[in-house]
Amino acid sequence: MSVTEQDVRAAAPANAPEDVLNWVAEIAALTTPDAIEFADGSQEEWDRLTSLMVESGVFTRLNEEKRPNCFLARSLPSDVARVESRTFICSEKEEDAGPTNHWADPVEMKATLKEKFTGAMKGRTMYVVPFSMGPLGGPISQLGIEISDSPYVVCNMRIMTRMGQAAMDLIAEGKPWVPAVHSVGVPLEEGQEDTAWPCNEEKYITHFPETNEIWSFGSGYGGNALLGKKCFALRIASTMARRDGWMAEHMLILRLTRETTGQQFHVTAAFPSACGKTNLAMLQPTIPGYTVETVGDDIAWMRPGPDGRLYAINPEAGFFGVAPGTSYDTNPMAMETMKANSIFTNVALTDDGDVWWEGIDGDVPAHLIDWHGNDWTPESGEKAAHPNSRFTVPAAQCPIICSDWEAPQGVAVDAILFGGRRATNVPLVAEQYEPAHGVFIGASVASEVTAAATDVKAGSLRHDPFAMLPFCGYNMADYWGHWLEMQDKLGENFPKVYQVNWFRKDEDGNWLWPGYGENSRVLDWIVRRATGEVEAIDGVTGRYPKFEDFNLDGLDIDEAHWAKLFAIDPDAWSAEMDDTEEYFAQFGDKVPAAIREQLAKFRERIAAAKA
Ligand code: OXD
Ligand code: MN
């Protein structure tokens, strides 16, 4: 017997409003689950669902002494990352999705989804998950309800969002909420056994920006299934933000405090997926004089505050970070954060019930169970953890979480960084010439592709404007226009933009910059620019530090090495601008005049460098 409207009403908390009940009943009638539960976010619920998943084989409980209350899940090899080719923006007009999104007609997509979701939850429990993105009740926060047939999703949402009764209480007060429907797309016939990672070969990750709806079918993984994250907090939120005069960005947020004066600076930074945002967010400065605190590692929602400055909140409550490469060496704070109450997905399992991945501290174990669930030895020749394997951890457990990370009004942003993985061309740091140049810097971000999406060739260079390519819910060129408008509105108060690149290599393929904690030196220069303590030198891509101003104490970087970090090959940059111009051309007339002007100015600077 599938769930009836009466069952919905019986399962719902007493204060669930009529519009919620009607919507849930409608989805239940469509998807015909066997049972329904409203998630309350309690510890009892977490304990029950995690135990249920241990029994059903979805979760492996990790060693209670080493990683209390931690679990490992292994997905199917066909469901290990976001699927950009199956991600759709269903705006009424195709041009509003723009050439960088996959567009689908909303009416046609609704018809397809109706067919896909019909009976999709048969044999499963439907979970109704109310959640808040951002501190509960905060002026920048937003509410949503995810319906999902995956207990794995419910437990991840409990870490990644403020999930449960407290969010429902706000919805019951009449606050607006975003409906999000998710199914793994594997109905179970009577007596049919479930598998440890149900998912459908056919996937649809769909967004309806005009009605603020999200429908996701066929995947149980990360950004495809935890709908508060990429689907809501970036794709839908970016369209809301444009309508309402704020910004939803793929950015970390950190606080830098100068120990001598107590002055605080807040920096946000956009990098394409899996380019070290979590590492930068939790940076341990190698130079004296600064304390870093983490506000967020992936998404920033920013709004003008009463004083005319730009204020940012982290809409998430957890970190969904890439595991490989994370160690006490590269990111000790992340390692400390994941000591308990965490979910690991597609990492390897040690013989003593702990987790392991490539790049973690210590010797490579002689034996592991790899992410496929098979025996693994160093001779296996395969990676034991999937390159996009993840940890889901509560942000509050981060030892350097900022005391204001849940401040409802957010933190005032002083500087915005754009970066990518660039082995060549892009200098260590460059400051914008003027606000529109800052937007040009964001618009021309390109990066070597990582493993965060399944369907993009890793290693190739791709344009990823503002690191938002897979996440902008509307036409990318209109988004640049929105940035220019926000800059106009805030004037002098709009934070200065910097382009950074930690990944430059020399002609022999050696890294030119040590990265990680040493990136504090770049932040130090940016702070000293903000306070007016240092000057910058005009260059082709922007304004650079003077060698003598930049803190290189204790690093083996002489002037010749420094020159390589900032070397500009005018021919290479000419070629890069040709490529950028070609990239912009796909947006036609929508490219703002100010951005075309910046391209022309860039070419003039190249010409001057050649002369
Ligand atoms: C992420 C991503 O998972 O950007 O954060 O892909
Ligand atoms: Mn991300």
pTM of the model: 0.97
CB neighbours (10 Å) of residue 65?
A: 9
Average pLDDT, stretch 180-203? 97
Measured in Å, residue 564 CA sits from the centre of ligand 1 at: 31
Per-residue pLDDT, 1: 74
Q: What is the CA(448)–ligand 1 centre distance, in A?
A: 15
Q: Which two tokens stand for residue 424?
A: 């060549």
Catalytic residues: 275
- Confidence band of 458 (pLDDT split at 50, 70, 90): low
Helix 476-490 vs helix 237-244: crossing angle, to nearest 10: 40
Are 549 and 534 a contacting pair, CB within 8 Å?
yes
Of 494, 298, 520, residue with least CA distance to 412: 494
CB 172 within 8 A of CB 206: no
> For residue 157, how far is its CA from the centre of ligand 1 (angstroms)?
15
Look at residue 457 and tell me whether its pLDDT is greater than 90.
no
- Cβ–ligand 1 distance for 254 under 6 Å, the answer no
Atom of ligand 1 nearest to the CA of 273: 4
- Whether 133 has a pLDDT exceeding 80, the answer reads yes
CA of 147 to the centre of ligand 1 (A): 22
Q: Give, for ligand 1, the residue of 80, 82, 227, 472 to mutate: max count of ligand atoms closer than 8 Å to Cβ.
A: 82
Contacting residues for 554 by C-beta, under 8 A, at least 6 apart: 286
d(CA 526, CA 279) in angstroms, rounded, equals 18
With beta carbons less than 8 A apart as the criterion, state whether 506 and 513 touch. no
Q: Looking at the DSSP assignment, which residues form a beta bridge with residue 563?
A: none
Residue 82 beta carbon below 6 angstroms from any ligand 1 atom: yes
Element containing residue 142 per DSSP (H, E): strand 142-148
Query: Of ligand 1's atoms, which has the minimum distance to the CA of residue 222?
Result: 3
Q: Which residue has the higher pLDDT, 74 or 275?
A: 74
* pLDDT per position as a tens digit, 149-161: 999 999 999 999 9
- pLDDT mean over 580-584: 97
Query: Which tens digit of pLDDT belongs to each residue from 276-310?
Result: 999 999 999 999 999 999 999 999 999 999 999 99
Q: What is the pLDDT of residues 48-99, one digit of tens each?
A: 999 999 999 999 999 999 999 999 999 999 999 999 999 999 999 999 999 9
pLDDT band at 459 (very low <50, low <70, confident <90, very high): low
Instruction: Find where tokens 């809501």 sit.
Output: 232
CA distance 486 to 504: 32
Cα gap 114→120, rounded to integer Å: 10
Q: How far is CA 495 from CA 251, 302, 446, 537, in A?
A: 14, 11, 22, 19
Nearest Cα residue to atom 2 of ligand 1? 273
pLDDT average, residue stretch 337-350: 98
